Amino acid sequence: MHAIDAISILGWRQFSYDCWRLTEPQEKCAAIQAFSFAPEQNLTFGQPQLITTDMAQPGHPAQPELVAPSAVPKRSLHTTTGRAALIHALAHIEFNAINLALDIVWRFADLPADFYRDWLRVAQEEAHHFCLLNQHLHSLGYAYGDFPAHNGLWEMAALTRDNVLARLALVPRVLEARGLDVTPGIRSKLMQAGDDAGAAILEVILRDEIGHVKIGNHWFNWLCRQQGFDPIAHAAHLATQYQAPRQRGPFNHPARLAAGFTASELASLEKCR
């Protein structure tokens, strides 16, 4: 690795750590969206701080209240409150996704510059998604934090904080890939409920998330090759080791293929349904 690349990576990882620790969503999003890869940019908010890799929880606001998934109430999409609750749940997923992208940048060292560059761009797109959803929440008379939410997505991130291969196998390739399957159906329900603005936001999110899952697939396969693992077999091993949720269909085959899953992987998923 060239010296200038090493210096840039240190700066990118410090920036990601600083953003990860921010508690206010708007401040976090503004910082990420203002980020530039230009080497002359000052990437830290203040004095450089020691990156402490045993930290498990990112900065998050006092609200929303975090509850068990079963405790999140279900509401009808044919009411404004019901649509707002759904948009809020999606915004919470995107807020977690921001922290996940930042976490993989600062937590895992000694990877190629393109690895960090890819995930910082993912963080910027996730911040954009969160802002779109939060703006839509405001148009419905609500804001992020007004409804309870669950923390399931982050729990897997905490479990895989010591293993980058496990993180890639089980977060982008399992949990986030699930979004590729369910988002078209949610978008259709919003359209049926007359929420065309919300449906349009989900169209943007689906397009970008295909790219995010593709990045996860790319780096998982790359690291498997580097370490001598068969990607499909090792993914199954990691899913068992970390007790990942069982993948359930129906699967969005076109989106998953575009995101880097192979036809044989999809066939295996269908057999396990």
Contact 65, 31 (CB under 8 A): no
Domain carrying residue 104: 3-39+74-271
Q: Which of 191, 202, 190, 199 is nearest to 255 (CA)?
A: 202
Tell me if 189 is assigned to some domain. yes
> Per residue in 72-120, pLDDT tens?
888 889 899 999 999 999 999 999 999 999 999 999 989 999 999 999 9
Tell me if 50 is assigned to some domain. no
Contact 131, 34 (CB under 8 A): no
> Per residue in 189-223, pLDDT tens?
999 999 999 999 999 999 999 999 999 999 999 99
The answer, yes or no, to whether residue 187 has pLDDT greater than 90, is yes
Tell me if 157 is assigned to some domain. yes
Tell me if 45 is assigned to some domain. no
Encoded tokens for 246: 């069982």
Model-level pTM?
A: 0.92
Termini Cα distance of the chain: 44
Half-sphere exposure of residue 163: CA atoms within 13 angstroms, side-chain side: 17
Number of compact structural domains in the chain: 1
Half-sphere exposure of residue 83: CA atoms within 13 angstroms, side-chain side: 23
Tell me if 69 is assigned to some domain. no
Neighbours of 112 (CB within 10 A): 13
- pLDDT at residue 3 in the model: 44
- pLDDT at residue 5 in the model: 63
- pLDDT at residue 158 in the model: 87
Secondary structure string (H, E, C) spanning 94-162: HHHHHHHHHHHHHHCCCCCHHHHHHHHHHHHHHHHHHHHHHHHHHHCCCCCCCCCECCHHHHHHHHCCC
As a whole number, mean pLDDT of residues 42-58 equals: 57
Tell me if 47 is assigned to some domain. no
Tell me if 66 is assigned to some domain. no
CATH number at residue 176: 1.20.1260
Tell me if 178 is assigned to some domain. yes
Handedness of CA 194, 134, 103, 121 (dihedral sign): positive
The answer, yes or no, to whether residue 41 has pLDDT greater than 90, is no
As a whole number, mean pLDDT of residues 36-46 equals: 54
